[in-house]
Copies of this chain bind each other. A is one copy, B any other.
Amino acid sequence: MKKIPTIRDVAKKAHLSLSTVSLVINNKANVNEETRQKVQTIIDELGYHPRRSARGLASQLSGNIGFILTDDHFSQAEPFYTKIFLGTEFEARTHNYYILLTTVSRTFKASEIPRFLLEHNVDGVIVAGEVGGGWIDYIMGRHLPVVLVDYEVNRRSLSTVLIDNRMGAQAAVDHLIDNGHKKIGFIGGNITHPSIKDRYVGFRETMTNRGVPLNDAWMYLDGETTALIDGYRAAEKFFACEDVPTAIFAANDVMAIGFMQYMKERGMKISEETSIVGFDNIEAGLQVIPRLTTVNVHCEELGSIAVRRIVEMIAQKSDVVTKTVVPVELVVRESTKASAKDVSVLIDA
């Protein structure tokens, strides 16, 4: 087993000092091009690679980025935050960082402080989703670059990466109105969820702007959750009206599918009788018949943008607070257009 080469071996073989080699390794200026070449050659010959822990100790930089998520966000069936996380992983790679993941309880607990913070093993932190203020305070107290993803804290000036929920809602509602719908219901479930609230606001705004009347009987805003059952309950509520809506905008796909389930159980024809638009573009929206029209969110991009911000902050040591709103896009499928084919599928099934 050959000895692993160190920077010392490279320096020796090149008849140069450690610092010169170090300068080459780190692509620093003020190195003669010839010298650089020579050092590089020897590095390649020896198959030398600096050790992470050694440079970490010397430079006080770990080369890692922490990713913090509350456990309830992570255990959700929906891979929303998982996707964001994977987005950070891939982006981090291109910047020569690794992501260290950890989950914490929603409220701050000293016993749960991520080990990577205690051990100074990250150069910046990404926090995804809503977390307790205690966490924000603690992390800021560590004087590390921080970026929030899909969450905003008013009292603090922190860089954030957000979804354009308002625009998404607008696109969805515009689509329905453009298709001739005037009687449009909204399923929000628990609209205290920040994203859900924004989608609700977007819904109202667009309806108003387009001159389409709002009808409180067609709004389901008092759920405890934003789950399948809420969509189902919304359907119960809406179809109990004497005047029923012809189209539904659900604040997420899960509720939209719950709504569809109610209709299917009663043999009602989705899209022909009632058009449905969801939000999130989850996998299940593709498996369902008819496939669900929805608003696609580029989750991975949220993660990759967050990493880019963090990397900038680490490099420039700047405290410029940025707020990035990631656009969304409407994906039109059969739940909002009754083409001949779709109808036949419905009948067949």
Contacts and interface: CB of A to CB of B under 8 A. Distances in A.
B265 A345 contact: yes
Interface string A41-70: 000000001111110110000111000000
Contacts of A143: 1
Which of A52, A57, A264 has the most CB atoms of chain B within a 10 A radius of its CB?
Answer: A52
Interface stretch (A94-102, A206-214, A302-310): A94-102
Contacts of A118: 49
A115 B120 CA distance: 20
Contact of A53 (B100, B121, B264, B284): B121
A288 interface: yes
A62 B1 CA distance: 20
A217 interface: no
A50 B119 contact: yes
Contact of A348 (B77, B99, B102, B266): B266
Interface string A272-296: 0000000000011001110000000
Interface in A126-163: 143
A86 interface: yes
Given A1-B143, A57-B57, A101-B89, A349 B116 contact: no
Contacts of A115: 96
B49 A53 contact: no
Interface in A71-101: 77, 79, 82, 86, 89, 93, 96, 98-101
Interface residues on A, range: 35 or more
Interface string A307-349: 0000000000000000000000000000000000000011011
A167 interface: no
A75 to B, nearest CB: 10
A265 B62 CA distance: 56
Contacts of A82: 79, 82, 86
Contacts of A180: none
A102 B93 CA distance: 8
A241 interface: no
A343 to B, nearest CB: 13
Interface of A: 1, 4, 49-54, 56-57, 62-64, 77, 79, 82, 86, 89, 93, 96, 98-102, 115-116, 118-121, 143, 257, 264-267, 283-284, 287-289, 345-346, 348-349
